[in-house]
Chain A
Amino acid sequence: MSTDNKQSGFKRILIAIIVAALAMAAGIWAARAVLEHNSVQDELDATRFPEAREIASFSLIDHNNAVFDNSVLKDRWSFIFFGYTHCPDVCPTTLSILNSVARKLGDLDEDIRFVFLSVDPERDTPEQLAQFVSYFNADFIGVTGTPEGIEQITRQLGVLHIRAQPEEGASGYLVDHSASVFLFDPDGRYHAVFSPPLSADAIAGDFKKMLQAYQ
């Protein structure tokens, strides 16, 4: 009886010690995780989420008519920019910046995807996008789809896109759209966002820091 009591007493103390040790370890781990997240964010121009966000399913097609959905995002880092091919100022400027980013990150041992996602599916066919994106970089991917498909992803990211009312006598219409660049990690999660004004140096530098923190 008394031996049993003694033993269970020991057991309780032992459990208490283990629990305390685990709690302490968890506390340290959590604190370090928080500190680490904060210190990474402090060094960034980009907005990085402490916890990358899962994205609900969406289904689109790329410029080769292949399916582009959540599963495609799950193998490497992806930079996504939303725009349209009839956009003469912001979109070519941003794709040129992303091409510089691609070159700056070329020495990394990472397969990185750059996506131009159309918010003007009416005019941006896969064929149109193929010519548009490859003008900037042969490896860039153009993505389009149905208005519903595009809405599935833009709504989740808070990407605004509004067809502007054409001016009297204007040739075609303009689309107001988000000028930010969105980063997805190899888990297919929304990892960070780069807001304008964009710079290739800042994006490449931030990406390297985030890559280090991710590994």
Chain B
Amino acid sequence: MIKHALITVILLAATSLAGADSGLQVSEPWVREAPPTSRVLAAYLTLVNTDDNTVTVTAISSPDFKNAEIHRTVIEAGVARMLPVKQLEVPAGGQLMLEPGGHHLMLFDPLRTLTAGETVTLIIHMNNGKQLSATAPVIRKTGEDHSHHHH
């Protein structure tokens, strides 16, 4: 519950950064805390388009990592594959979720140690040249907490 409230606060903080003219808002951004050996982390968020036109996201970057790529997990015939995604289309008045087992952001080689409670800056790049910044909390998820991402 506290975590949920915290996320809501961060979400409000994140969306306030969006700027009224970008048409795009970020809700519930979070980064999965990784086991100590891992050099690759996953980030999840929901892109909300309040605009009348489709918004195309061409990249998501992070100054806290060496590299970031948008991927999509596809499970076909029981086999999980991760496919790179060139761009994300967020429909007018609609939303697009990056969530476990679906679209996600791969963050490679953290520039500092990132443990639960810290935050990561994500920058969403749009094809109209606009950028949107979001602050994503690092959250430990090992099955001990109640997941609020399951609907």
Contact = CB atoms under 8 A, between A and B. Distances in A.
Interface in B49-73: 66-67, 69, 71, 73
Interface stretch (B1-9, B74-82, B117-125, B126-134): B74-82
Contacts of B81: 164, 174, 176
Contacts of B100: 89, 93
A151 to B, nearest CB: 16
Contacts of A99: 142-144
A179 B79 CA distance: 5
Interface residues of B, number: 33
Interface in A140-196: 160, 164, 167, 169-172, 174, 176-180, 195-196
Interface residues of A, number: 39
Contacts of A180: 78
Contact of A171 (B35, B67, B80, B141): B67
A176 B80 CA distance: 6
Q: Is the interface of B mostly helix, strand, loop or mixed?
A: strand
Contact of A88 (B40, B66, B75, B84): B40
A177 B80 contact: yes
Interface of A: 85-86, 88-90, 92-93, 95-103, 128, 131-132, 135-137, 160, 164, 167, 169-172, 174, 176-180, 195-197, 200
